[in-house]
Amino acid sequence: MALTTELGRQLQLREVGGILLQAATVDNWSEIQHFEAKPDDLLICTYPKSGTTWIQEIVDMIEQNGDVAKCQRAIIQHRHPFIEWARPPQPSGVEKANTMPSPRTLRTHLPTQLLPPSFWENNCKFLYVARNAKDCMVSYYHFQRMNQVLPDPGTWEEYFETFISGKVGWGSWFDHVKGWWEIKDRYQVLFLFYEDMKRDPKCEIQKVVQFMGKSLDETVLDEIVQETSFEKMKENPMTNRSTVPKFILDQSISPFMRKGTVGDWKNHFTVAQNERFDEIYRQKMEGISINFCMEL
Ligand SMILES: Nc1ncnc2c1ncn2[C@@H]1O[C@H](COP(=O)(O)OS(=O)(=O)O)[C@@H](OP(=O)(O)O)[C@H]1O
């Protein structure tokens, strides 16, 4: 899957182990696989469009004890190195992580089978956020419309097929969520749901605080809930991607902080698409005891 624009090869998605990733990531694959994780690393893991930016801001606010000014030190993409990130001549995610003091918080969209082995060997903490597949698909569709370094998604009908077949960056939603769900009891994994974070942010943030081995005052917790709301993060230039040039993210097509809701799929799926999707979901997630809230 290759496209030609001025950004050239970065628009290509290439396969590693059957998973499509950005070509520059694949070029850098050996460095990524040999990444040396440390036992006190915390890795934020998500399928794309599942609430990565949101959980990053939450984790940073916790790390900074609710000090908003400290969280404004850098744009969110630069605070937690993205392990598979590669866009030469910029430093890669691995290079950035290697120069970071411990304890480090890192992030990835990689499925379990592609994760650098040192994360497992060092028994790192994994913070996984899952979002229901239908809203994920909708969010990813609009993201590919505005993201000029990912393939054009085509029409909604076309994208529906692409997403279901897993021929999108970082692969199939089904395999990704299943993969992380299945290993969660064997490693140090906090498995959260975007929908729970929407319904009761304070409760989910408390889980993260505990998982990180911290304790925070009630007032600090309330501050974190407030500062990490969709409305606040949409206005915050350090989280809303407004500093990313238009030739990469064209927010006039669709904003990065788009709606931040549960159930937007109902505004996109036809009845037939919904029935078909539910059937595919049943087949692919058979035997997996995982329940998503699809509407709030
Ligand atoms: N604070 C907060 N509350 C609720 N929802 C939020 C928040 N921050 C980001 N978002 C929504 O998350 C979607 C983007 O997901 P990611 O950050 O994982 O995107 S990415 O994969 O890192 O590009 C995208 O979802 P959609 O609005 O449905 O497109 C964002 O709007």
CATH number for the domain harbouring residue 59: 3.40.50.300
Q: Is residue 190 part of a domain?
A: yes
Q: Is residue 113 part of a domain?
A: yes
For atom 5 of ligand 1, the residue with the nearest CA is 260
Number of domains comprising the chain: 1
Q: Is residue 295 part of a domain?
A: no
List residues near ligand 1 (CB under 6 A).
46, 48-54, 135, 139, 142-143, 228-230, 233, 257-260, 264
Contact 86, 110 (CB under 8 A): no
Q: Which atom of ligand 1 lies at the shortest distance from residue 257's CA?
A: 31
Q: Is residue 291 part of a domain?
A: no
Nearest to 210 by CA among 198, 196, 192: 192
pLDDT tens digits for the chain (296 residues)?
Answer: 444 444 443 468 999 999 999 999 999 999 999 999 999 999 999 999 999 999 999 999 999 999 999 999 999 999 999 999 998 889 999 999 999 999 999 999 999 999 999 999 999 999 999 999 999 999 999 999 999 989 999 999 999 999 999 999 999 999 999 999 999 999 999 999 999 999 999 999 999 999 999 999 999 999 999 999 999 999 999 999 999 999 999 999 999 999 999 999 999 999 999 999 999 999 999 999 898 988 77
Indicate the length of the chain as a whole number: 296
Q: Is residue 64 part of a domain?
A: yes
Q: Is residue 105 part of a domain?
A: yes
Q: Is residue 120 part of a domain?
A: yes
Q: Which pLDDT value is given to residue 12?
A: 80
Domain limits for position 73: 2-284
Token pair for 18: 């059957």
Distance 51 CA to ligand 1 centre (A): 5
Is the whole model's pTM more than 0.80, yes or no?
yes
Q: Which atom of ligand 1 lies at the shortest distance from residue 135's CA?
A: 28
| Of 77, 131, 257, 262, best ligand 1 pocket probe by most atoms within 8 Å of the beta carbon | 257
Distance 121 CA to ligand 1 centre (A): 31
Q: Is residue 290 part of a domain?
A: no
Q: Which atom of ligand 1 lies at the shortest distance from residue 254's CA?
A: 29
- The interface pTM score, or ipTM, of the predicted complex is 1.00
How far is it, in rounded angstroms, from Cα 140 to Cα 192?
19
Q: How far is CA 68 from CA 87, 223, 273, in A?
A: 30, 9, 43
Catalytic residues: 109
Contact 112, 45 (CB under 8 A): no
Query: Which element (helix H / strand E) includes 69?
Result: helix 68-71
Query: Which element (helix H / strand E) includes 120?
Result: helix 118-121
**β-strand partners of 192:** 129
